[in-house]
A and B are shown apart, each in its own frame.
Chain A
Amino acid sequence: MKISKKIIDNLKKGGVDFYLSVPCKLLANMIDILEKDKEVYYSAVPREEEGMGICAGAYLGNKFPCIMMQNTGIGNSVNAIVSLLQLYQMPVVFLISYRGTPGEPVGAQGGMAKITEDILQTLRIPLLHCTSENDLEKISTFSKHAKVVESPVAILCDFNLMKDDK
């Protein structure tokens, strides 16, 4: 719970006040925290691409949105990212559980893991890769950066960083 709490605290410190998630085992603690948090909006959504649309609307309505998802969700969302969030220059934080990185028990997750960073780089999305607890301190400043540059940004959280967060 310590890691998850630190991530949410830093997102909130960065101004994020609207959260969506498509679930992942590694995000479960964060979802628990957000469901109990009365200061921010939180909802589950069925699909990441739809979540990008809801985040865009939330931004138009003066919220600072974050969508939490597995890295597979980036694959589901490429057109929405490019032709909505980037086209209209909308700041949205992607908080991504980086499945398929070392420690991952499910071999099939390796495929998207191999191309996740390439996709984000191709999309020119600023990236913060969190591999240890110390990296989490950077999340608040990095989130604020999304608003400054009016762009979606991505935070990748490695499997081993999240897996023991009981």
Chain B
Amino acid sequence: MNRFDLLNKIQNILKDNLVICNIGLPSQELYKINDQPNFFYMLGSMGLSSSIGLGLSLSQNKHVISIDGDGSVLMNMNTLATIGNRAPSNYTLLIIDNGSYGSTGDQRTFTDENTSLKDVALGAGCKKVIECSGEETLNELSKAIEDKNNSYVIISKINSGNVKIDPIPLNPITIRDRFRKFIGIVKYL
């Protein structure tokens, strides 16, 4: 199972939640599979999907899923400490860990060598940390959303590999405004 297969498998659960999606191929694949106004596609700021989702979950009550990658979490690892100390129960960080920098040509990341993001997350203070296969991810994600008392970090171990895909045609303000309209903030659209 690669990222595209995984996103396909979990799309029904994603469409019922607020989703912050990592820059590059993850966002492009998600857009292609089933674009939704409650998907916030990152067009820059690699590494910050986890942080944007955290800020969003602290600011309103709907459940937030941050879709991140192993390369991006390695870039902003301090965020796991903030999540471990501050994340509310309406927050789930889904790390799609394929051991490679998919958007830049599948160069290996350190999770393909010695680094365990599960161990890092636990050490950073995250209480509910699940490492699972791509096949198990849908079930683990459902359980995380149903649990109203805890936030979760789910590390989905999948294969590297991408599908050929176009950039997202939406401009950033469109992404911003339709997302905030879905939450009920923007009234003018």
Residues of A within 8 A of B (CB): 18, 41, 43, 45-47, 49-63, 65, 79-80, 82-84, 87-90
Contact = CB atoms under 8 A, between A and B. Distances in A.
Given A60-B176, A84-B45, A43 B86 contact: yes
Interface stretch (B126-134, B139-147, B179-187): B179-187
B81 A53 contact: no
A88 B40 CA distance: 11
B21 interface: no
Contacts of A60: 40, 52, 55-56, 59, 176, 179-180, 183
Interface in B1-48: 20, 40, 42-45, 47-48
Contacts of B179: 60
Given A46-B81, A50-B78, A62-B183, A57 B44 contact: no
Contact of A61 (B58, B86, B173): B58
Given A52-B48, A89-B176, 14 more contacts: A18-B55, A47-B76, A50-B76, A53-B49, A53-B51, A53-B79, A54-B55, A55-B55, A57-B59, A58-B55, A59-B55, A61-B55, A88-B172, A89-B173
12 contacts: A41-B58, A43-B82, A46-B78, A49-B47, A50-B48, A50-B51, A53-B79, A54-B58, A57-B56, A57-B64, A61-B59, A87-B44
Contacts of A82: 44
B54 interface: yes
Contacts of A63: 55, 59
Contacts of B100: none
A80 B173 contact: no
B137 interface: no
Contact of B52 (A18, A54, A62, A79): A54
Interface of B is mostly: helix
Interface centre among B20, B82, B86 (most CB of A within 10 A): B82
Nearest to B23: A83
Contacts of B78: 45-47, 50
A79 B45 contact: yes
Contacts of A50: 48, 51, 76, 78-79, 82
Contacts of B52: 53-54, 56-57, 60, 84
A89 B43 CA distance: 13
A58 B82 contact: no
A89 B173 CA distance: 7
Interface string B153-189: 0000000000000000000110110011001010000
B57 interface: yes
B55 A65 contact: yes
B57 A57 contact: yes
Return the 5 tightest CB-CB contacts between A and B, nearest first: A83-B44, A57-B55, A61-B59, A53-B51, A53-B48
A149 to B, nearest CB: 14
Nearest to B56: A57
A80 B64 CA distance: 21
Nearest to B186: A62
